[in-house]
Structure 1
Amino acid sequence: MPSGLVALLDDVAALTKLAAASLDDVAGAAGKTGAKAAGVVIDDTAVTPRYVVGLSPDRELPIIAKIARGSLKNKLLFLLPAAMFLAALAPWAITPILMLGGAYLSFEATEKIAESLFGGIHHEEDVTEIKDPGELEKRQVSGAIRTDFILSAEIMAIALADLSERSLPMQAVVLAAVGIAITIGVYGVVALIVKMDDIGLHLAQRSQTGVQALGRLLVRAMPTLLSGLSTIGTAAMIWVGGGIIVHGLEEFGWSKIGDWIHDLALAAEHAVPFLPSVFGWIVTAAGSAIVGMLVGAPIVALIHRLKK
């Protein structure tokens, strides 16, 4: 075999190894940064099903597909270029923006908690009063995409903050990978959730006794699942929001709150003989949630007063 061809094949093999390593690097970074945005992802999954309330069942999946396309557009066409601009020209602004996002998450979660405890704080337009199906669908989709934009911005900001030591091209690729993967995951789960009762009804009509029982169980579990998702989403928002604020304060040199939470988590780990890391995480999440409520409560009170 000619030496030139051998050299070419060696180069191709080296490039292939480099590409494989780069893909592994992207996958690893995307998984790590996506995991840090888990709280926002859970809330996104919990929030979206309410946007198909009052709509025809045969339009549920097309509407979710429209929202998913809008979510991808939010992430890839608007938020990704904005994130790259910040990373290149104003990296100092990432932490304050993250803290603002954390304050927003804390406000949203605290408002939901206050609404469930006291009522009369959070008011939304009753879209089920809209009679025109086309207008109702348009309103729901646009509202969902607006909400998604805020949550997607927080997801991208959390991911970007974890990529500060990477090159700009790698940051862009990882952010795009995170955005695409999270969008597919969130709206795939949402589609399954909103169709779970239809799947249950279909199974309940089958002749096999076991299949019928499973179908009835799915139908009965639907309200509990949605309520549980809402609760989990609220909890995730408040501990993620508080955690972002605590981490941001540490970046600015105010580490006392973070140290206090860390010391309590260590004390919990040493006090419990089994699953110490789990109890340490619970204490850390609870401490972050307390910070989130302390930040969110004054904002809720201010907004409520301004509405009055």
Structure 2
Amino acid sequence: MSGSEPEGAWKYWDLLTIVFLSTLLDLLIFFFPDSLSRKALGLAFVLFFPGYVFITALFPERKELDNLERLALSFGLSIAIVPLIGLALNYTPWGIRLNPILVSLTVFNVVSAMAAVHRRKNAIKPWIPWVILDEIKGELEWERSSKLDKALTVVLIVAIVTSIATLGYVVTHPKPGEHFTEFYILGPGGKADNYPTNLLVGENGTVIIGIVNHEGGNVTYYVQMWLVNLTWDNRTNTTIIHGMYRMPGWFNVTLPNVPVNIEGNWTPEFEKNYTFSINKPGEWQLWFLLFKGKQPKLPPAPPDGNYAETPARNLILEAVNGTIQSLKLNVNVR
């Protein structure tokens, strides 16, 4: 694809184009993050540009590599370079996030392109991608190639085109992400510490209950609080519930879906202060059970309020086994 050589700035048209497109992608991501152009350009930005400018800087002379080798190595090296940059970022304070990766790859493309410009300028017979249809057949040495070489050339071209088409489809038609719900409790200061785990009888304790909906649509959540005293029988490998009391403050809330955001700072969707007190000394577990859409019906309340011998005990057993989304706070009451 090297024909009669262009002059002046056109001698570096490919490298300058990559610098321009890399900068353009930065602007598209900043101003039009959901555009199709961003996805299409981002594909080339990750899978072709890094390898191309790197190969061009390493091998500026026309005789060093032919066109197909340069094309194949551009894709292959890009697939190797990008993960290495991501690995390096993993050991920096910025981490593997969109903005650090975008800046790092842009800097790599620009620096490599400038190095390639310098190398091409000083090359004796520089390789410059300048398409002249009449010379393509001659460059491929098609007439002098063996049947095996022709077959391998066709296979290589088909493989490259198929790979690009497949990757393009995957990027432009992403698979829906996993649906899930974030359910958490924080201490009264809004952090995952300083929980009220040691209380006097009748003393108030406060936690913050949080829910974030990533289920793909509106969901009504029901939250139950249970005060439980249980032990684990090592002989039978079973959970024995001695006491199970309904705590006040059950609530429900309907939340819209919030897309998962791994690029920016995490923000809460719904949080609620929950204040409780326990009027019996002992080692207790305060269980928070989360139900989506509806909550199970409870049997009639026992006279002493202890649900341990009713079918409601299955709620705690399922929570212990992990089949119900739940949280537990161990509380020592004196």
TM range (shorter): under 0.3
TM-score computed with the length of structure 2 as normaliser: 0.25
Q: Which has the higher strand share?
A: 2
Greater length-normalized contact order (CA 8 Å, ≥ 6 residues apart):
1
Larger Rg: 2
TM-score computed with the length of structure 1 as normaliser: 0.26
